[in-house]
């Protein structure tokens, strides 16, 4: 039986989540799938759990390697995949039981190379029930141009796990995920959108994102995230200059301007050298703000330049405060669950 969807799951020290996440894939109503788990040098028992999962389901393949980062793990899995479509799934989230079947049938019937879908969020510590999400084969899906998707901030998402990707599209990319840096989705997704020959969009929720206080996205901004954000804008800048498709200019200006704001914000949280590097890079990319026509971004840049260190201090305080509120929310949910 030909594999219709290859699900690629990078894993690193996720013993608390890997079984639940993988079982949500195993239970998919689409049976013609393969599950490729790439373990990045886990030290917490994750490899043992992966081996136990493989014993339960022959569709699971596993690669165990030293930690080379999530991008290298995804690229490794994609290189081994044989499915008609690829799906990059995170090792701590959940999928609706019908997700892959309905998305595959919709993408195949419409001839889509890229299909973006919706997600919701749930707090770790509160049971998520993906099967309770009402879904049918008749969910609304419409074709959307690359220009429209890139330009519409309400529709566009950088999160690669919100896309079903045709394998032919993946192989037409000049390269896979940018290795050696973080923020890999922010660099990959614009290239997928621009390269795809036909794109679909649906608001239907199929993915359930786990909010947890110890996730990488909630960690304090360090050198790796600063350098990753700068690498993203540098790579997207090269891609924009090579694209030469005027109808996509406005959308790419918007995307690169937004990622430049991220790089600037992260740079503020670094030391003096990081802040100097971020200011230099932002200055080089200011024309994207002007071309997109968003004067407010220019104002943000000017104001941040006036008081860079103070802004960095305030951003750090806000990040810590957000994490404290999140942890309090989780603890409250646990207390309510125990008393129920």
45 phi-psi bin (left φ>0, alpha ψ -120 to 50, beta other): left
Q: Which residue has the higher pLDDT, 268 or 80?
A: 80
Instruction: Determine the pLDDT at residue 128.
Output: 54
Instruction: Determine the pLDDT at residue 317.
Output: 57
| Residue 296 binned pLDDT confidence (cut-offs 50, 70, 90) | low
- Whether 29 and 98 have beta carbons less than 8 Å apart is answered as yes
| CA-to-CA dists, residue 223 to 113, 267, 331, angstroms | 36, 9, 30
| Residue 220 binned pLDDT confidence (cut-offs 50, 70, 90) | low
Q: Where are the domains of the chain?
A: 5-217, 222-316
Q: What is the pLDDT of residues 13-71, one digit of tens each?
A: 999 999 999 999 999 999 999 999 999 999 999 999 999 999 999 999 999 999 999 99
- Whether 169 and 273 have beta carbons less than 8 Å apart is answered as no
3-state secondary structure 2-57: CCCEEEEEEECCCCCCHHHHHHHHHCCCCCCEEEEEEEECCCCCHHHHHHHHHHHC
Burial of 154 per CB tally in 10 Å (0-12, 13-18, 19+): exposed
Tokens of 58: 């022959």
Q: Which residue has the higher pLDDT, 95 or 303?
A: 95
- Whether 212 and 124 have beta carbons less than 8 Å apart is answered as yes
State the average pLDDT for the chain: 85
Q: Estimate to the nearest angstrom the gap between the alpha carbon of 165 and the chain centroid.
A: 13
Instruction: Determine the pLDDT at residue 270.
Output: 73
pTM attached to this predicted model: 0.84
Q: What is the pLDDT of residues 161-214, one digit of tens each?
A: 999 999 999 999 999 999 998 889 999 999 999 999 999 999 999 999 987 655
162 - beta bridge partners? none
Is pLDDT above 80 for 215?
no
Tokens of 306: 């006036």
Instruction: Give the contacts of 307 (CB within 8 A, at least 6 positions apart).
Output: none
Instruction: Determine the pLDDT at residue 307.
Output: 43
What is the rounded radius of gyration, in angstroms, for the C-alpha atoms of the chain?
21
- Whether 198 and 111 have beta carbons less than 8 Å apart is answered as yes
Tokens of 308: 């860079």
Instruction: Determine the pLDDT at residue 316.
Output: 52
Q: Which residue has the higher pLDDT, 210 or 319?
A: 210
Instruction: Determine the pLDDT at residue 318.
Output: 59
Cα distance between residue 11 and residue 65, in whole Å: 10
Cα distance between residue 78 and residue 100, in whole Å: 17
Q: What is the pLDDT of residues 120-161, one digit of tens each?
A: 887 755 555 555 555 655 678 999 999 999 999 899 999 999
Average pLDDT over residues 62-84: 96
- Whether 130 and 21 have beta carbons less than 8 Å apart is answered as no
Provide φ and ψ at 202, rounded to 5°: -145, 140
Average pLDDT over residues 217-225: 64
Cα distance between residue 264 and residue 5, in whole Å: 38
Characterize the bridge pairing of strands 94-95 and 85-88. unpaired
Of 186, 270, 292, 267, the closest CA to residue 232 belongs to 186
Strand locations in 46-113 (E): 60-65, 85-88, 94-95
Of 166, 180, 164, the closest CA to residue 72 belongs to 180
CATH 3.40.50.720 is held by the domain 5-217: no
Cα distance between residue 233 and residue 88, in whole Å: 22
């Amino acid at each position: 039986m030909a594999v219709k969807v290859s699900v690629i799951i990078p894993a690193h020290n996720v013993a608390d989540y890997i079984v639940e996440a993988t079982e949500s894939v195993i239970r998919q109503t689409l049976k013609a799938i393969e599950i490729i788990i790439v373990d990045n040098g886990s030290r917490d028992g994750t490899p043992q759990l992966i081996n136990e999962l493989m014993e339960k389901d022959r569709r699971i393949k596993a690669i165990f390697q030293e930690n080379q980062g999530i991008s290298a793990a995804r690229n490794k899995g994609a290189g081994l995949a044989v499915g008609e479509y690829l799906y990059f799934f995170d090792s701590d989230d959940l999928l609706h039981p019908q997700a892959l079947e309905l998305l595959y049938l919709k993408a195949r019937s419409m001839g889509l190379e890229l299909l973006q879908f919706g997600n919701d969020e749930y707090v770790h510590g509160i049971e998520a029930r993906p099967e309770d999400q009402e879904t049918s084969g008749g969910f609304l899906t419409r074709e959307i141009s690359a220009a429209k998707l890139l330009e519409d901030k309400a529709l566009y998402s950088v999160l690669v796990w919100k896309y079903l990707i045709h394998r032919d599209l993946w192989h037409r990319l000049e390269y896979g995920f940018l290795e050696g840096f973080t923020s890999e989705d922010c660099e990959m997704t614009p290239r997928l959108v621009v390269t795809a020959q036909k794109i679909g969009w649906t608001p239907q929720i199929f993915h359930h994102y786990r909010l947890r206080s110890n996730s990488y996205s909630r960690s304090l901004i360090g050198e790796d995230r600063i350098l990753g954000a700068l690498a993203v804008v540098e790579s997207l800048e090269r891609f924009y200059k090579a694209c030469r498709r005027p109808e996509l200019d406005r959308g790419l200006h918007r995307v690169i301007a937004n990622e430049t704001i991220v790089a600037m914000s992260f740079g503020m949280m670094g030391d003096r050298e990081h802040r100097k590097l971020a200011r230099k890079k932002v200055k080089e990319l200011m024309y994207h703000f002007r071309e997109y026509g968003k004067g407010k971004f220019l104002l943000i840049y000017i104001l941040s330049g006036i008081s860079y260190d103070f802004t960095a201090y305030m951003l750090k305080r806000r990040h810590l405060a957000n994490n404290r509120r999140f942890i309090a929310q989780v603890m409250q949910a646990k207390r309510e669950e125990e008393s129920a």
